[in-house]
Amino acid sequence: MINMEAQKSFRFSFQFYHLLLILLLQSILSNSVLAIPHKIPRLTPHRETLTRRDPNKILSASAISDDFITLFYTQTIDHFNYGPQSYATFQQRYVINFKYWGGSNSPIFAYLGAEEQIDFDLQSIGFLSANARHFSALQVYIEHRYYGESIPFGTMEQAMNDISTRGYFNSAQAIADYAEVPLHSPQELKGYLESIYTAAAQYNAPPEYPVSMICSAIDGEPTGTDILGRIFAGVNSYKKSYPCYHINDYSYQSESSLGWTWQTCSEMVMPIGRSINTMFQPSHFNLDRFIQQCERTYGVTPRPHWVTTYYGGHDIKLILRRFASNIIFSNGLKDPYSSGGVLEDISESVLAVSTVNGSHCLDIHLPAQSDPSWLVEQRNKEVEIIDGWITKYYADLLVLKK
């Protein structure tokens, strides 16, 4: 009797502890499952494999086809706030394909990247490329922020481990990115052309004479060529037939251009504008707007009258006639800056030497056999003047020594 009761008690205890063990395991498994977020299928058009992709099989755009050109757009990090950190930027990758593009009146097919680097899209999104020929369309593939080469903050791991940086990783910011990429930006093209035409006019030097070169190329296109085609012909003649022109290069800030921008903001204010009677878009000089730009960029307020006050520009002829000697003001009258130069002799030793066909600083370039006669004459005249000054200087020294 006692043994039977003991056996029953043992079986009950075993079953009870076995049940507790099962419940404990279920609790552990349930907590483990709940600790892992429910996996939501991704929106990418590519099937996700269970194995990690071999990074050696990820092809760049150039490796896929020479028709794809990889570019980067300077993108704003935060489109919806106005704090200082919101204006930080990152490089967003996009890829274009001109192979079937029919020109300015043809459509643009834009693929807005999914949650993956854009390399896979170039390999597998065939709808655009399959139909681009039919529509004569330009193809554009824009990479989603925080993927591929469009990560704003170092690597994906770094960005995701930082509370502040991953806050910019959302669909609203990504859609705003796509809206900002300039698929249609006439201002960018206008700015590029303005820089080319301005440089051509200022440095319209022999033997190329870039103004004539550009104009001849524009006028020399066959009848029926549209405006964009003529513009391209002009740029092509000036840039020496590159296969592709990056029209945002005109805004590149070199060391020299950065220095010059500072000088124009601080002391050498150049009130240069454009009226409605030029080939450029009208843009009148606005001093208030210029001051605001300089204050925003450098934190300084320009002094527009400093140069004329310090150097006597209020009546430069009077000042130079009284206090200056042995100066040559040389100008080429095709240089737009010559309109602000000294074009007449001020005294016997402050002289103006100008040429009708000359361009900016052409006379101080290294002589070449192809130089036109008027340029040779200008340089010879300048040398003759300098030779006279030196001769007179030594003659005066001899008089003083006697």
The whole-number pLDDT of residue 53 equals 44
Helix (H) / strand (E) containing 204 = none
Distance of alpha carbon 285 from alpha carbon 104, whole angstroms = 31
120 pLDDT higher than 70? yes
pLDDT at 49 over 50: no
Q: What is the secondary structure of 85-125 as a DSSP string? A: GGG-EEEEEEEEE-TT---TTS-EEEEE--SS-HHHHHHH-
Q: What is the pTM for the complete model shown?
A: 0.54
In the chain, DSSP finds a helix count (H) and a strand count (E) of 15, 6
Q: How far apart are the first and last CA of the chain?
A: 152
pLDDT, greater one: 392 or 60: 392
User: Minimal CA–CA distance to 285: which of 277, 294, 274?
Assistant: 274
What angle separates helix 287-298 from helix 255-266, to the nearest 10 degrees? 120
Q: pLDDT tens digits, residue range 278-301?
A: 877 788 889 999 999 999 888 889
Residue type at 169 in one-letter notation: F
- Reading the block at residue 291, the tokens are 């001051």
Cα four-point dihedral sign 252, 256, 258, 264: negative
Q: Say which residue the tokens 């001109």 belong to.
A: 98
8 A C-beta contact, residue 269 and residue 304: yes
Give the domain ranges of the chain: 56-184, 187-251, 255-307, 312-401
Extract the tokens encoding 212.
Answer: 């004539």
Give 328's strand partners: 351
CA separation for the pair 202, 199 (Å, rounded): 5
The pLDDT value recorded for residue 32 is 44
What's domain 56-184's architecture? 3-Layer(aba) Sandwich (3.40)
Q: Is the pLDDT of residue 47 over 70?
A: no
Mean pLDDT of the chain: 81
